[in-house]
Amino acid sequence: FVGLCLAVGSLHKSSSSSLVSSSRQEQVVPYRCPAEVETSGNDNHEGMFDKYAHSSKTDYNKTLDDFRSMYQKAWSMKYPDVKEMVAPWKEVAFVPHIQSGDSIYESACGIGINLLATLEILASHGIHDLTIYGNDYVQENVDLGNYLWSETDAKFLGHKGHLCRGDSSHLDHVPSD
């Protein structure tokens, strides 16, 4: 399923540009979103991603708090249940490897609900001041994600780097360091 890829990692920066304080001027990992996105290998029939585009268009007036209380169709459960389900894995996979001030990239991030769960789980372990990045194949998801992660309530959780349209099987634009 395209929107649930859990390919999240840490994009480290040199110590001279590390993110240390929530009052600091935001520093963004330098990379460019793809100018053009070719048809994905899993986009194999007309309208395959229309339901995601439609959902993002109708949810454009919602906040992260709204999404926390909504039924998450992609997971077939409510957000608190999603977070509870993924927490044990994220605590093992991320907590030992991510520090306050790091950056996280999620491929196939949708509108960023999995990133929301990740940041909340990491915050419960004292890891804060993270910058999020990601890509999704559906432009409407990217637009809604950029909107949601630019809102005031999102800024208490982390900082938005780039969320852009991209095919998760072609991540050449993402820096390896």
Residue 1: what pLDDT? 25
What pairing do the DSSP bridges indicate for beta strands 77-78 and 158-165?
unpaired
Give the DSSP letter string of 67-113. Answer: HHHSEETTTTEEHHHHHHHHHHHHHHHTTTT--TT-EEEEET-TTSH
CA 9, 14, 17, 22: dihedral to nearest 10 degrees? 40
Residue 72: what pLDDT? 86
pLDDT tens sequence for the chain (177 residues): 223 333 344 444 433 222 223 333 456 677 777 778 877 777 767 776 777 777 788 888 888 888 899 888 888 999 999 999 999 999 999 999 999 999 999 999 999 999 999 999 999 999 999 999 999 988 999 999 999 998 877 888 899 988 999 888 878 777 776
- What's the length of the chain? 177
| Tokens found for residue 70 | 């909504």
Burial status of residue 28 (CB atoms within 10 A of its CB: 0-12, 13-18, 19 or more)? middle
Residue 25: what pLDDT? 43
Q: Please say whether the beta carbons of 104 and 120 come within 8 A.
A: no
Between CA 19 and CA 130, with CA 29 as vertex, the angle to 5 degrees is 40
Residue 17: what pLDDT? 27
Distance separating alpha carbons of residues 24 and 129, to the nearest angstrom: 10
What pairing do the DSSP bridges indicate for beta strands 103-107 and 77-78?
unpaired
What pairing do the DSSP bridges indicate for beta strands 130-136 and 103-107?
parallel
